[in-house]
Amino acid sequence: MIEDYLKGSITQSLERVRQLSQIVQERYPREYDGLRQICLSRLTAISQAYEHLEQEAVIDSDLQTPRRVRKMKRINEELILTESVGVFALSRARADDDFLNRLITEICSDIAYPLICPTASQMSQGYFHIYPDFNLLCMPLIEGRFLLHLPDIYHELCHPFRHAQNLHLPRLKPFQQAFEDCLFTAVKHFQDQRVEAERLRSPPGIMFQFQLWQTCWVKYWMEEMFCDLFGVATVGPAYGWAHFHLCVERGGDPFETPMALSSSHPADAARMKAILHMLTILGFHDEAWKIATAWQEFEHMTGAAPSPEYRQCYTDVLLKQLVTDAHAGIAKVGVSIATPAGMKATVSLLNDAWTQFWRDPAGYAGWESAAIATLRTTFGSSRA
């Protein structure tokens, strides 16, 4: 009976693959070609896997059927992922997405982005994130109609640098070397802290915390920190303001430090400290001071203060070393670095947006609407 079920289920799944392939084969602007190719490649592999399973000769159902069911589940998972991410992004593409993709193509060109430009979709239910397997950058529903959060695009552009297929690209070698050096720095930092704690006969809980923080840095935080620093290096002060904007709008305790379970992102205050240090290295001294002043006022308003654990987890020595090494690695990749002396057009626009915001907060919305309208005209997408 289960084999009969498998036969019917596989037939239905193959039809689903065919219909999804038809969606992918429809006409889209050329900015979607990369995503279409990825989806078609995945759907082809999925179809072949189903067909192989369908054609498999069953000699001993007691032995083979459980394995065949497990195999079908794995193929189904790939189909569900491809449908719910890649094909879904294509199926809902409209004028807003077309404009955003043209803008991101321009951004990648302006900063000499070393990888294939990602496809963008305003399908995120939360905030900016990227699916490296699909090279798909996701943003909230109408984010392309506003400017203040768009510097976070540059953060997401950096995540594919650490994707498995890109780890050994020659052009990215300086970035990868800097990243590995920083991992070593973080591991040594917490090993030294554990040695010192053992010397002082500290409680076991302290040792656990040092190990937890080391794990967080190695598995999650280092990549997020490097993406922040790539964002600062390529878009300049606008990235610092965007981080401030995000934390005020959506953030919690900026000094939050994990004590029992790992977290996916470093503390917002530590990220801001690294951002400000990078801005200083790049020569944006006045802008760094303005952002730092606003950040301090935000901390004072919320009553947030660093705990002893925060100070141990995010020491100034560690953060400054990471920023120094990251700056060197990013610069050697050959991307266009933002400087006070000159910025590319898209970079300049995002920094101008924040300058205008602080110059006239009440009137900013009108200025932004006009700027977006001009962009839409420039990129040939006037529909809302």
pLDDT surpassing 60 at residue 384: no
What is the model's pLDDT at position 321? 97
* Other Cβ atoms within 10 Å of 60 Cβ, number: 7
d(CA 94, CA 97): 5
pLDDT tens readout for residues 124-146 = 999 999 999 999 999 999 999 99
Q: Output the CA–CA distances (angstroms, integers) from residue 188 to 104, 213, 222, in the order listed.
A: 38, 12, 14
Write the CB contacts of 320 (distance below 8 Å, at least 6 apart in sequence): 277
pLDDT of amino acid 382: 41
Judge contact between 329 and 223, C-beta under 8 A.
Answer: no
Residue 80 has pLDDT above 60, yes or no: yes
Q: What does the pLDDT look like over 196-222, one tens digit per residue?
A: 888 888 788 888 999 999 999 999 999
* 67, containing H or E segment: helix 61-81
φ, ψ for residue 317 (rounded to 5)?
A: -60, -45
Question: CB–CB of 318/189 below 8 Å?
Answer: yes
How many other β-carbons are positioned within 10 Å of the β-carbon of residue 381? 21
Give the confidence band of 1 by pLDDT, cuts at 50, 70, 90. confident
What is the spatial distance between Cα 222 and Cα 189, in angstroms, rounded to a whole number? 14
Amino acid 203: pLDDT: 85
Contact of 65 with 3, CB cutoff 8 Å = yes
**pLDDT the model gives residue 26:** 95
Percent of the chain with pLDDT over 90: 88
For the beta carbon of residue 277, count every other beta carbon within 10 angstroms. 20
For the residues 43-61, what does the mean pLDDT come to? Answer: 92
Q: What is the pLDDT of residues 269-308, one digit of tens each?
A: 999 999 999 999 999 999 999 999 999 999 999 999 999 9
The better pLDDT of the pair 314, 384 is held by: 314
Q: What is the DSSP string of 216-272?
A: HIIIIIHHHHHHHHHHHHHHTHHHHHHHHHHHHHH---TT---SSS--SS--HHHHH
**The token pair that represents 120 in the structure block:** 């963008």
Residues in the chain, total: 384
Crossing angle of helices 237-250 and 285-302, in 10° steps, is 10
- For residue 356, pLDDT over 80 is answered with yes
Return the beta strands (E) in the chain as ranges: 119-121, 129-131, 136-138
> What pLDDT is attached to residue 383?
42
Could you tell me whether strands 129-131 and 119-121 are parallel, antiparallel, or unpaired per DSSP bridges?
unpaired
